[in-house]
Amino acid sequence: MRLATLFFVLFVCAAAQLPAQIPPLPAAGSRLFTESSCAAELGEGIRTRRTYCDVIITDDARASITMRLPARQGAATLYFDLHNRFDLPADDDEAGVSYVRHLALVRVVDGAGETIGRAGVVREFRTLGDLFDRLGGGGRPAGLKGVAPGPPDAIRISVPAGPTTIGIVGESVSVRYPDGRDERFDAPGRPVAIASNIRLEYRPR
């Protein structure tokens, strides 16, 4: 428990060294839209104060993440950060002897479920230092949750002019275990990754 407390203190102190996560300014004549709907919100990160959302395998984006698009001219660009979703050992002291590797694949879809683009993220987890953030509101020591986001990949997807609604849904997650076994999960309802910092750059009408 003493080691777990030390890990937590070091994790929070490192937050002071993180730059503010501010979306880039849009191009001249464009605007940023940041309103999205999350069916499985994970809450706020203790380091970044970002809101994190599970990306769920589903044929209906309303069960994962959706965004109703503003009126716009031409194509728009969707940006978001995609994180691997790591389940943490029950005892933080055991994190140093753990190993898991995740490859998560997700899709951006239109309102009819047609694929607009795909993205993926792959990371390994061995220690708490491999995490990007910790989530509050859980039952672990210091009120932390037992799931956490890994370092993000910055995703950029071009959205054509037609759709009025888009979604981010899971496709699969492949897991490598310490004994070298690989297992792929693609059943509906399973969370495969975590998304944050979701925004749309568009040119208003």
pLDDT tens digit string along 119-142? 999 999 999 999 999 999 888 888
Residues 6+ apart with CB under 8 A from 173: 85, 102, 103, 104, 105, 184, 185, 186, 190, 192, 193
Give dist(CA 72, CA 70) in Å, integer. Answer: 6
User: What local confidence, expressed as pLDDT, does residue 97 receive?
Assistant: 55
User: What local confidence, expressed as pLDDT, does residue 19 receive?
Assistant: 39
Looking at residue 60, its amino acid is D
User: What local confidence, expressed as pLDDT, does residue 205 receive?
Assistant: 87
Q: pTM score, two decimals? A: 0.84
The secondary element (H helix, E strand) that includes residue 199 is strand 191-203
Find the mean pLDDT for residues 99-121. Answer: 97
